[in-house]
Structure 1
Amino acid sequence: MVTIVDTLNRPQQETAARPRHPEKAHRPDNPIQRKPKWIRVKAPTSQVYRETKDVVRDNNLVTVCEEAGCPNIGECWSKKHASFMILGDTCTRACAFCNVKTGMPGPVDHNEAQGVADAVATMGLEHVVITSVDRDDLEDGGARHFANVIAAIRKTAPQTTVEVLTPDFLRKEGALEIVAAAKPDVFNHNLETVPSKYLTVRPGARYFHSIRLLQKVKELDPEMFTKSGIMVGLGEVRNEVLQLMDDLRAADVDFLTIGQYLQPSRKHHPVLSFVTPDEFKAYERIAYAKGFLKVSASPLTRSSHHAGEDFADLRAARKAKLGH
């Protein structure tokens, strides 16, 4: 019998002695709502899932799949898809939605780039996503490390296409240029939510800085695909989401993802609404009408979910648009 479990942003096991998010302890408790029937995923059980897990462990790597409590880990790892999180597992920011721990990160592991590249080669990945925690403690925000990881993958697994999901590099002059010069195939930076929610949901970031970051990528390399994503259910209203789409299109962003926010723990921002599958479909239709080359919108959509297949769709959509 297949077990169905609620793993979407499932709260981590915590103990009184060592809570996962001590920096959020001062926040009031927000009861976790029961999830609707359309948000269910299968427990990971496949042999390939276990093999992928072994590769990650053997190379001493961190994945956002695990750290963020992603619901799609069973599906993705069973297909040998993984999103690697570089620069450690501790973030310098404390966003109200995020399940990654906050604190002072350790030193940069300069062997990590080759470790990621070796794992990519071992797994035979056609497409890989590289993301990171925010590293406000570093002069370049970790940009050079991103570039080193990309270079190592290019050398060790030249057949693999590379997608980066970067922090905002706020107040890190020249950082964006370093990553763009490394020529990832897709440059992703998530807005996460609409601007009116930044103060409570993403207080360390600035909405229009993130828009400008994505716009600048296109100015540096018009051929590079750009991508961004948001969560819904945080209290936004429909017209705010539509305006956000327009802001992204003004920055010439190619790909938009929209997924349902779910609360990692009682200390995180509450879910204020569950968006129905029909509403997601409506957002998808509108986004395509506004000119995005690719849109993924569903309750279980996450930024890196189906990234390889989506990259193929992106290339095909651009060719069709150009009439090739």
Structure 2
Amino acid sequence: MKKQGPKKPDWIRIKLTTGENYTEIKDMMRSKTLHTVCEEARCPNIYECWANRTATFMILGDICTRACRFCAVNTGMPTELDLQEPERVAEAAERMGLRHCVITSVARDDLQDGGASIFAATIHAVRKRLPLCSVEVLIPDFMGSEEALKVVMDAKPDILNHNVETVERLSDRVRAKAKYDRTLELLRRAKTMQPKIPSKSSIMLGVGEEWDEILKTMDDLRAHDVDILTIGQYLQPTPKHLVVEKYYTPEEFALLKEEGLKRGFSHVESGPLVRSSYHAHEQVQSAQKNLVQA
């Protein structure tokens, strides 16, 4: 018999807003054969974000070479590498009139550079069409390749995001191939390569972690000069994925925000439905302001 998680509480509510902006963005993504992590990962904020004309583009196809136990993105052996994808993302960003563009990807361990060159090309393409638009990248770990990371950092994104996802004890069970120490090392290297570019990471809660482990993860991220932290509730996407062990209350998320700010993060976004790209534009403004003041 499969383990059943606790009952979903009342505060886990998704606001359904499927107005004109939502429909327009969905149609545009289909017409340009683009993928969004909003759809592929079943993000609970898709209705709110798309209604506000923001989206997180997912490049390098929609098939991931990894099978993390929390993620709803399709897993398998990718067959596509579309060199025109960066330009299509830039066209879509221009049509949306974005002020802040978030670019992520599936893991592409089948590629020598893990897709780093496509990330860099997409950053350049967006900047060419939208010079005033800030660009955030949420990257995989590139299997620890320093060369691949340098390709991305040399393109100078406005924010470098790489998620730790969970506490050290649970990392191998929750994530596929990714390593806790490798994540911290990537974040350290990114800051060494481009000290003025804010770095960011995310923790999801509810997969069996303890409170003191959450605080230690915060400490580890700050020890590697991470500037921005997002904390959200894990929601089981299908019966095949990890069962939710606990639903944290809004009050607990508020306490964790306080703990993060006490530790020196320039911005902490913490709440049940918070995801890595939630309110991303506010995050980049906050982080850049703190870097200027430092």
Question: TM tier, shorter chain?
Answer: over 0.9
- 1:3 corresponds in structure 2 to none
Q: 1:34-113 counterparts in 2 under 5 A?
A: 34-113=7-86
TM-score using structure 1 length:
0.88
TM superposition shift of 1:208? 0.6
Q: CA RMSD in A?
A: 1.3
Q: 1:175 to 1:29 in 2, by over 3 A?
A: farther
- 1:146 corresponds in structure 2 to 119
TM superposition shift of 1:171? 4.3
Count of matched residue pairs: 294
Q: Which runs of 5+ in 1 are unaligned?
A: 1-27
For 1:318 and 1:299, the matched residues in 2 are separated by 28
- 2:110 corresponds in structure 1 to 137
For 1:233 and 1:87, the matched residues in 2 are separated by 29
Q: Deviations over 1:167-218 (max 9, x none)?
A: 0111435100000000000000000000100121113111011001001111
Matched, 1:288 2:261: yes
1:307 partner letter = A
Q: 1:18-37 counterparts in 2 under 5 A?
A: 29-31=2-4, 33-37=6-10
For 2:228 and 2:176, the matched residues in 1 are separated by 25
Give the number of the structure whose alpha-carbon radius of gyration is greater. Answer: 1
1:70 partner letter = C
Q: Deviations over 1:16-65 (max 9, x none)?
A: xxxxxxxxxxxx84445431000101223211111111221121100000
TM superposition shift of 1:87? 0.2
- 1:273 corresponds in structure 2 to 246
| SS across alignment from 2:268 | strand
Q: 1:61 to 1:30 in 2, by over 3 A?
A: farther
- 1:4 corresponds in structure 2 to none
Is the CA contact (8 Å cut-off) linking 1:294 and 1:317 kept in structure 2? no
- 1:299 corresponds in structure 2 to 272
TM superposition shift of 1:316? 2.8
Is the CA contact (8 Å cut-off) linking 2:137 and 2:157 kept in structure 1? yes
For 2:287 and 2:156, the matched residues in 1 are separated by 17
For 2:264 and 2:205, the matched residues in 1 are separated by 21
Is the CA contact (8 Å cut-off) linking 2:144 and 2:186 kept in structure 1? no
TM superposition shift of 1:315? 2.3
Is the CA contact (8 Å cut-off) linking 1:256 and 1:296 kept in structure 2? yes
- 1:248 corresponds in structure 2 to 221
2:25 partner letter = T
Is the CA contact (8 Å cut-off) linking 1:294 and 1:313 kept in structure 2? yes
Is the CA contact (8 Å cut-off) linking 1:191 and 1:230 kept in structure 2? yes
Matched, 1:235 2:225: no
1:209 partner letter = R
| SS across alignment from 2:278 | coil
TM superposition shift of 1:313? 2.1
For 2:156 and 2:146, the matched residues in 1 are separated by 19
TM superposition shift of 1:107? 2.3
- 1:175 corresponds in structure 2 to 148
Is the CA contact (8 Å cut-off) linking 1:32 and 1:265 kept in structure 2? no
- 1:190 corresponds in structure 2 to 163
TM-score using structure 2 length:
0.97
For 2:7 and 2:212, the matched residues in 1 are separated by 27
TM superposition shift of 1:291? 0.6
1:236 partner letter = E
Q: 1:171 to 1:218 in 2, by over 3 A?
A: closer
Greater shift in the superposed pair: 303-312 or 64-73 = 303-312
For 2:129 and 2:205, the matched residues in 1 are separated by 38
Matched, 1:264 2:219: no
Is the CA contact (8 Å cut-off) linking 2:6 and 2:247 kept in structure 1? no
Is the CA contact (8 Å cut-off) linking 2:172 and 2:179 kept in structure 1? no
For 1:152 and 1:169, the matched residues in 2 are separated by 22
2:199 to 226, 230, 235: 226
For 1:272 and 1:91, the matched residues in 2 are separated by 26
Q: 1:232 to 1:148 in 2, by over 3 A?
A: same
For 1:306 and 1:79, the matched residues in 2 are separated by 11
2:180 partner letter = Y
